[in-house]
Each structure stands twice: as C-alpha cells, then as structure tokens.
C-alpha cells in the first residue's frame, strides 16, 4: 500500500522521496522480512477491527439477552468466548510477526550496509583515511547506522495503520452510513493534528539532539583538559560554560514538552469526543430501530483503537528526515570508488636482489605541493638516510613507495618494474615499511608480526632476534602467544616499535623503509638492531632519522629541503651545506630522549 499523498504534503517532498528511496533499498535487501512484517501489521489491523465486531455480537447475543431478559444461551456464550480468545491470539500473532520480522529487516539492512562500509574502509586508498578522522568513520558504523535504519522500524506499522483506517471505515459503513460519517470527520482531523504535531516537533526535537551532543563534547573537552583548567584556576568558568550549554537542552526540551502538551492530550481525547457524538447519534438510531446496541458498542470500541496507530504513523514521518540525513553520510563513503581495484598489477619480480628507483616524482596533499620533482635510487645492499626538517615530506616518500599514495607525476620502479604493475603480494614481499606510528592489533604478538602471512617459526625467531624483541617477548606471560591490547598486555613505546620492526623484517624482504620507526627505542638497542640488519645479504635500508648516531650509520644521506633534494652524499660531505649543518647541529643539541 502506498501512503496517501495528503499525509506528506508540507513535509519537504524531495526529502520524502529520498526517504522512500531509503525504504526501497531496504525492501530490496530484505524483501521477505519486510513482507512478513507488513503482513503481520495488516493481520493485526484486521484482527483489531474484527475484535470490535465480536464485542458487538457478544453485546447483542449474550450480554443483553442474559442480563435484561434472563435468557442465557450457553452455546452463544462459549462461541463468543472462543471468538474473543481466537481473535485476540491472531492479533497478538500479527504484532509478533511485525515486531520480529521488522528486526530481521532492520538489522539485516544494517548488516549489509555495515559490511559495505567496512569493505570501503579496507579498500579505499590511503588518501581517504588521511582526510577523515577515525572517530568520524566509526560514527558512520555506529550512530549514523542506527539512525539511518530507525525509520524502518515504524514502516510496517504505518502501512498497517493505513490499512486499519480503510478496514475500519468499510466496517463502519457496513454498520451504518451515518456512523461512518462521524468517522469521516474524525479520521482526517486526527491525521491533520498528527501531521501538524509531527511537523512542528521536528525542529525542536533535533535541536535537543544537537544540544545534547554539544554538551557531551563540552564535558569531554573540559575533563580532558582538566589539568590546564585546574592549573589556571578556570573551574568556575567551565561550570558556567556547561550551564550555558545545558540551558539549551533545557530550553529545547521545554519547547518539545510544550508541543507535546498541546497535541498529545488532544490527539488522545479526539476519539473520546467521537465516542460522545457516537452515543448521541447512536442512541437516536437505536431508538429508530436502524441500529442495535451491539453495533453501537462495536463502533465505540473501534474509535478507541485509532489514536495510537495514527501517532506511530506520525513518528514514522518524524524519523524519516533524520534517517535520510544519516544515510547520506554513510552513502558519501559507499559511493566513493575504491581505486584499489584500478591499480592491481600482475607482474612478478624476482626476490633475489632488488633496487628502488624514484624518478621525477611530484606529490601533492590537498593541492599543496609536498615533493617537487624528486629523483633518487637505492641500490641493493645500500643504507640510505633521509634527512630533512619536519614536514618536508619524508613520510610522503614512505607512502609513495608503499603504494599508499600515488604520485601526481613521475614514476617509482622496484627492480626496474613500475610499482603499479607489480603483483601486490610480490611488492609486499620485496619491500616493507616500518611506520612512524607503531600500530598493534588486539591480537597475539605472533599474529602482530605475521599479519596473516605464512612464515616458518625459524623466520619468526630470526626476525624477533634482529628487532631485539626476544628478551621482552620471552618475559611476557605467554611469550609470542601473549594477547596484546585492551584485553591483553600493554607494551611500552619502545617495545611496540620493536614488534612492528619484526613485522617489517620477517621473511627477508630486500628493501626495508624505516620511517623514524626506532625513535622510542633505546639508542644502544637501536644500534644493535641496525647492526643486525646489515648482516643480511643484499639488504637495502632507507632510514628516516632524527638522531645523529643513526644518520652517521648510513652509506649515503639524502637531504630534503623545501620539497626538493638539496644534497646527496655522506654526512661529512653534506655538512658543507648550511641548511643541513644547522639541522644537524639542532639534532646534536637536542640530543636523545632521556
């Protein structure tokens, strides 16, 4: 059944059409669940109307003959009893079907959307993640998803309500056309009041939501900054800030309350006013002999079941715009084309010895030029240090080499094959990156090193040895099988870096890019790690470093400044460059973390 157009006028029609689209997407995903839920809702409506008729029959055939004329017909009595129970059960069944299968429809839709969302999170290029905060992306999977699917909940009930209105009207017509007339005045009035209420409550209700959200982030901020607040003695001002924000919640809640106070009692009282009219006209019709008392009773009972479903339908129209907006936010991610599928190389490369060559590479971030025409190469077995002031684009090179970002122009070759043409699995086997931020998964130490790849225990052992992680791993409660993260052990910064190092070293990759990945490791241990690495045959290292001791270990230093390579050579040679020398001096002066 299509909702009649009158109900939606006044709502933003475009918004409503998009709401219908949201619903039809869910209908396509879960047609079966929706169909049963809607069937249940209609069954409920029919049973509810039938029950009022049964009450009418019971009045005429059981209650009145028995009490007024003392003529109890046992057969009629038990028939009425059985009927009431049966119809009651059917009504309950209808409600159950609606509620239960609606859950399947709603959560099934969420399941599907969430899966699509997660796939996007995994497959979209790195540039996507660089632009979005994790909190935002998680909100899509959590709160946005819940709100987007919220409008699906009253859907079946709303359809059932329109069905109910029709069944009820037909039923009243069959009882007596005059009585149907009262309903014809009452129904539109009820619908109109509801519509006005729904429309007017949308704005203050969303203001409440917004105010609650603002207050919540204010509290978060205020407690996060408690140290600053306390040391500057700004506590009372923070309290005032909260009061102002919470005042808004109060204000908007009172507005919602005022609307509720105007409309709800009236909406619920309207059927009662109808009942009074029914009694006046009904008794007159009874007196004329064209209506029985039972029919009047059944009409009264029918009026009683109208207000509630109409209210639910109102809520459906209140929720729809919110859901549409939430789904829009999710769609923004879903509609992005994952470029991962476009650059899927197929060429194999030999794992024997590898070289890395960067040719005329230019990279931009948000239109800002980061790397301007950079060219350099790393030969097999060479140790190269990348040095340059903060923000010069050293990590961007790591991103380019790891295919996390595409250069805006220029080429990157791995063993003389363009990076994008290489089979991804071959690329990750040949070249690994240990990132600046050492991320660990809530999994075992072992899985954190393997990351789903197949390596022998011997290789694992060798990797942890070179990464100088053996000592502390063996002291963990379950060694390599110790669970890390929230429900497991927390490692120190230096330990975390060593686990991520082992992750990069395992399986003898030919080129390892260390993006400032030993900054939290004790300098003595760092030296041991680098010494250990150099014992590997044909291994090339690219090191982003801030420690003079690390820089001095390199065969060659590449000095980046202002987006270009300003010099290449040994540390001593580069000291002739003024910019390099002052940077080196700062590194020396700043020294090492104590």
Options 366, 367, 457, 486; binder of other proteins; rule CB under 8 A: 486
- Could you say which of 275, 414, 469, 521 contacts other proteins (CB under 8 A)? 275
**Strand 356-365 relative to strand 409-414, pairing:** antiparallel
Q: Which is nearer to other proteins, 8 or 102 (CB)?
A: 102
Spell out the long-range contacts of 104-108 with Cβ–Cβ below 8 A and sequence spacing 24 or more. Answer: 104/30, 104/33, 104/37, 105/26, 105/30, 105/33, 105/34, 105/37, 105/152, 106/26, 106/149, 106/152, 106/153, 107/149, 108/29, 108/30, 108/33
- Options 270-278, 412-420, 459-467, 554-562: segment touching other proteins (CB under 8 A): 270-278
What is the phi-psi region of residue 68: left when phi exceeds 0, alpha when psi lies from -120 to 50, beta otherwise? alpha
Report 414-473 residues binding other proteins (CB under 8 A): 424-425, 428, 432-433, 435, 439, 441-442, 451-453
Smallest gap from Cβ 26 to other proteins, in A, equals 14
Q: Of these, 11, 16, 121, 197, which contacts other proteins (CB under 8 A)?
A: 121
**Shortest approach of other proteins to residue 445 CB, angstroms?**
15
Q: Are strands 417-418 and 409-414 parallel, antiparallel or unpaired?
A: antiparallel
Using CB under 8 A, which of 115, 343, 534, 537 touches other proteins? Answer: 115
Whether the CB-CB separation of 253 and 198 falls below 8 Å is answered with: no
Q: Which of 154, 160, 393, 563 binds other proteins (CB under 8 A)?
A: 154
CA 141 to chain centre: 1
CB of 381 to other proteins, least distance (A): 20
- Binding residue (CB under 8 A) for other proteins from 35, 184, 369, 548: 548
Backbone angles phi, psi at 413, to 5 degrees: -115, 140
Name which position in 293, 325, 351, 575 contacts other proteins (CB under 8 A).
Answer: 293
Size of the site for other proteins (CB under 8 A): 165
Rounded to whole angstroms, the Cα distance separating 244 from 497 reads 45
Q: How far is the CB of 17 from other proteins (least distance, A)?
A: 22
Q: Least CB distance from residue 552 to other proteins, whole Å?
A: 5
557 neighbors 387 (Cβ within 8 angstroms): yes
587 binds other proteins (CB under 8 A): yes
5 vs 133, beta carbon nearer other proteins: 133
Kindly state the smallest distance separating residue 238's Cβ from other proteins, in Å: 6
The window from 93-101, 168-176, 351-359, 562-570 that contacts other proteins (CB under 8 A) reads: 93-101
d(CA 361, CA 356): 13
Name residues contacting other proteins, limited to 296-335 (CB under 8 A). 297, 300-301, 303-305, 307-308, 311-312, 315-316, 319
- Nearest-angstrom CA–CA distance, 348 and 417: 9
Window 526-545: contact mask with other proteins (x via CB under 8 A): -x------------------
Long-range CB contacts for residues 562-567, cutoff 8 Å, separation at least 24: 562/392, 563/369, 563/370, 563/371, 563/372, 563/392, 563/393, 564/372, 564/373, 564/374, 565/374, 565/375, 565/376
Q: Closer CB to other proteins, residue 153 or residue 363?
A: 153
Single out the residue of 271, 321, 393, 494 in contact with other proteins (rule: CB under 8 A).
271
Binding characters for other proteins, 227-246, by CB under 8 A (x = yes):
xxxxxxxxxxxxx--xx--x
Question: Which 365-424 positions form the footprint of other proteins (CB under 8 A)?
Answer: 389-390, 399, 402-404, 424
Q: For residues 484 and 441, is the Cβ–Cβ distance under 8 A?
A: yes
- The reply to whether 276 sits near other proteins by the rule CB under 8 A is yes
Q: Pick from 77, 202, 351, 577 the residue near other proteins by CB under 8 A.
A: 77
Between CA 56 and CA 278 the distance in angstroms is: 14
Rg (CA), the chain: 36
Beta carbon nearer to other proteins, 142 or 328: 142
> Among residues 20, 150, 351, 483, which is the contact residue for other proteins, using CB under 8 A?
150
CB nearer to other proteins: pick between 64 and 184: 64
Sheet hosting strand 431-434, strand order edge to edge: 431-434, 511-515, 540-544, 383-387, 556-561, 564-569
Alpha helices, H only, 233-359: 235-288, 293-304, 307-334
- 20 near other proteins (CB under 8 A): no
181 counts as binding other proteins under rule CB under 8 A: no
Contact with other proteins (CB under 8 A) among 3, 29, 39, 114:
114
Nearer to other proteins, 222 or 461 (CB): 222
Q: Does 564 contact other proteins by CB under 8 A?
A: no
Interactions with other proteins, residue window 38-57 (CB under 8 A):
51, 55
N-terminal to C-terminal alpha carbon distance within the chain: 73
Nearer Cβ to other proteins, position 218 or 373?
218
**284 binds other proteins, rule: CB under 8 A:** yes
Contacts of 455 (CB under 8 A, 6+ apart): 463, 506, 507
Report in angstroms how near the CB of residue 582 gets to other proteins at its nearest. 7
Binding residue (CB under 8 A) for other proteins from 30, 91, 394, 496:
91
Q: Report the residue number, 457 or 486, with the smaller CB distance to other proteins.
A: 486
Q: Rounded to an integer, what distance in angstroms lies between the CA atom of residue 307 and that of residue 478?
A: 63
Q: How far apart are CA 353 and CA 355, in angstroms?
A: 7
Q: In angstroms, rounded to a whole number, what is the distance separating the alpha carbons of residues 393 and 374?
A: 11
Q: State the chain's maximal CA–CA distance in angstroms.
A: 121
Of 13 and 230, the one with the shorter C-beta distance to other proteins is: 230
Under the binding rule (CB under 8 A), the answer on residue 28 touching other proteins is no
CA angle 372, 377, 382 (to 5 degrees): 135
CB of 253 to other proteins, least distance (A): 5
Residue 552 touching other proteins (CB under 8 A): yes
């Amino acid at each position: 059944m299509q909702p009649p157009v009158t109900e939606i006028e006044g709502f933003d029609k475009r918004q409503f059409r998009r709401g219908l689209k949201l619903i039809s997407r869910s209908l396509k995903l879960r047609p079966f669940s929706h169909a049963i839920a809607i069937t249940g809702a209609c069954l409920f409506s029919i049973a509810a109307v039938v029950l009022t008729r049964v009450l009418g029959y019971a009045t005429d055939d059981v209650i009145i003959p028995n009490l007024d004329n003392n003529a109890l017909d046992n057969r009629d009595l038990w028939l009425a009893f059985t009927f009431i129970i049966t119809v009651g059960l059917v009504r309950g069944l209808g409600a159950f079907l609606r509620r239960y299968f609606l859950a399947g429809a709603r959560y099934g839709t969420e399941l599907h959307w969430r899966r699509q969302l997660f796939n996007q999170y995994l497959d979209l290029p790195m540039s996507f993640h660089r632009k979005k905060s994790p909190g935002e992306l998680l909100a899509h999977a959590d709160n946005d998803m819940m709100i987007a699917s919220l409008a699906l909940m009253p859907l079946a009930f709303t359809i059932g309500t329109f069905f109910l209105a029709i069944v009820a009207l037909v039923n009243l017509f069959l009882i007596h056309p005059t009585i149907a007339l009262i309903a014809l005045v009452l129904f539109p009035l009820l619908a109109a009041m509801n519509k006005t209420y729904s429309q007017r409550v949308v704005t203050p209700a969303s203001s409440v939501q917004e105010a609650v959200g603002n207050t919540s982030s204010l509290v978060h901020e205020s407690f996060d900054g408690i140290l600053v607040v306390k040391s500057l003695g700004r506590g009372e001002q923070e309290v005032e800030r909260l009061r102002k924000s919470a005042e808004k919640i109060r204000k908007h809640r009172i507005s919602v309350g005022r609307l509720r106070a105007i409309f709800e009692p009236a909406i619920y009282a309207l059927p009662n006013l109808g009942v009074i009219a029914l009694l006046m006209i009904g008794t007159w019709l009874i007196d004329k002999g064209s209506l029985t008392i039972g029919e009047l009773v059944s009409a009264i009972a029918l009026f009683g079941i109208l207000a509630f479903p109409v209210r639910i339908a109102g809520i459906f129209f209140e929720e729809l715009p919110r859901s549409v907006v939430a789904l829009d936010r999710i769609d923004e991610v879903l509609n992005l084309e994952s470029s991962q599928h476009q650059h899927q190389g197929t060429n194999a490369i030999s794992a024997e010895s590898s070289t890395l060559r960067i040719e005329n590479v230019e990279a931009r971030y948000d239109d800002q030029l980061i790397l301007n025409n950079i060219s350099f190469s790393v030969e097999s077995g060479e140790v190269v240090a990348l040095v340059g002031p903060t923000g010069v684009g050293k990590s961007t090179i790591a991103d380019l080499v790891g295919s996390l970002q595409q250069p805006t122009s220029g080429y990157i070759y791995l063993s003389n094959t363009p990076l994008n043409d290489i089979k991804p699995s071959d690329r990750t086997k040949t070249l690994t990156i240990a990132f600046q931020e050492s991320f660990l998964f809530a999994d075992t130490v072992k899985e954190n090193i393997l990351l789903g790849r197949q390596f022998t225990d011997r290789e694992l052992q060798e990797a942890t040895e070179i990464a100088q992680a053996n000592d502390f791993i063996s002291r963990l409660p379950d060694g390599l099988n110790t669970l890390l993260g929230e429900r497991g052990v927390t490692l120190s910064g230096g330990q975390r870096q060593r686990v991520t190092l082992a992750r990069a070293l395992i399986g003898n990759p030919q080129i390892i890019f260390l993006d400032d990945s030993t900054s939290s490791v004790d300098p003595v241990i760092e030296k041991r790690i680098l010494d250990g690495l150099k014992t590997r045959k044909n291994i090339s290292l690219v090191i982003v470093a801030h420690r003079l001791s690390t820089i001095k270990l390199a065969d060659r230093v590449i000095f980046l400044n202002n987006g270009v390579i300003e010099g290449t050579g040994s540390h001593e040679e580069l000291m002739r460059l003024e910019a390099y020398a002052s940077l080196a001096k700062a590194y020396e002066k700043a020294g090492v973390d104590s």
